[in-house]
Amino acid sequence: MIKFDKTQIRELESQIFEQSGVRLLIKREDQNHPFVSGNKWWKLKYNLETAQQQGYKTLLTFGGAYSNHIYATAAAAHELGLKSIGIIRGEETKPLNHMLAFAESQGMKLQHISREAYRQKTEEAFIQNLHDQFGDFYLIPEGGTNELAVKSCAEFATQLNAEVDFDYLCLPVGTGGTVAGMIEGLDESKKIIGFPVLKGATFLEDEIAKYTPKHNWQLMYDYHFGGYAKVTNELTEFMDQFETQFNIPLDPIYTSKIMFGITDLIKKKFFIPGTTIMAIHTGGLQGKAGFNS
């Protein structure tokens, strides 16, 4: 099994937080592994274990051109001696960006398909065609979200709660698996806020509800900055300022948006004085290089 490092929890000190009477902590899950970092490890953990237990030699999964999940799955498969296949949304562009070039360097076979075909990725006939083409494989959904991923993320939340007390847990949301697991792993005295990085992502509420009956959570839709892998000058300036002030790097796709959102909510007095907020740094720093490639 892949070895991961225990990560630190830091309190961020700022005049803004002090004046608002709130504490902001950050769990540095970007430090848990150089390649399978952040929440990607938690989502892959039991999927990798199950694939090996069932004797699979190949992993197949889905993602876009800047997918942290593709990057992490390729690295995990390589480390475990497994083959991997990535079904990539959209036409191939040469040279490959940093993310896809890394996945290929880890031995992942990349198969680009049209966006129209990609929408069929969960259909039985489409998956059967993939088996006809590639043979036997263990399928991991786009973003790694399934019941095994939720189970592992719930365990992470339980462990985190045992380390330190907090009132709110905040994290970015892509496909919804991580936040669903966090909700499941915490009792309902904790409040969970997810920050979708997709534009128009209200469908995520139904996706999350598939995995948890709890109601102590909400999604903040105003911090996507144009949508997935989209940024603005305001976000870029915030990301650079945050790293300078706290010596913590952020990525442009996920973590910069959540930290901007939390900071903005603090300024707007969303959190009452005395509140302790726990932010999850979900890794994905390779997206910085991939985004600029």
Q: What is the pLDDT of residue 4?
A: 73
CA separation for the pair 97, 66 (Å, rounded) = 8
Q: What is the pLDDT of residue 286?
A: 85
Q: What is the pLDDT of residue 293?
A: 43
Q: Is residue 204 part of a domain?
A: yes
* SS3 label, residue 187: coil
Do 19 and 48 have their domain in common? no
Q: What is the pLDDT of residue 2?
A: 75
Do 31 and 140 have their domain in common? no
Q: What is the pLDDT of residue 291?
A: 52
Instruction: Read off φ and ψ for residue 247, nearest 5 degrees.
Output: 55, 40
Q: Is residue 100 part of a domain?
A: yes
Q: What does the pLDDT look like over 153-169, one tens digit per residue? A: 999 999 999 999 999 99
Number of domains in the chain: 2
Q: Which helix (H) or strand (E) holds 11?
A: strand 9-12
Do 221 and 254 have their domain in common? yes
End-to-end CA distance of the chain: 32
Do 15 and 68 have their domain in common? no
Counting as low any pLDDT under 50, the low residues of the chain are 290, 293
Domain boundary (113, 144, 175) is at 144
Q: What is the pLDDT of residue 166?
A: 98
CA separation for the pair 237, 233 (Å, rounded) = 6
Sequence-distant (6+) residues with CB within 8 A of 200 are none
Do 25 and 80 have their domain in common? no
State the pTM of this model. 0.92
CA separation for the pair 100, 64 (Å, rounded) = 9
29 and 281 in contact (C-beta within 8 Å)? yes
CA separation for the pair 239, 159 (Å, rounded) = 29
Do 16 and 157 have their domain in common? yes
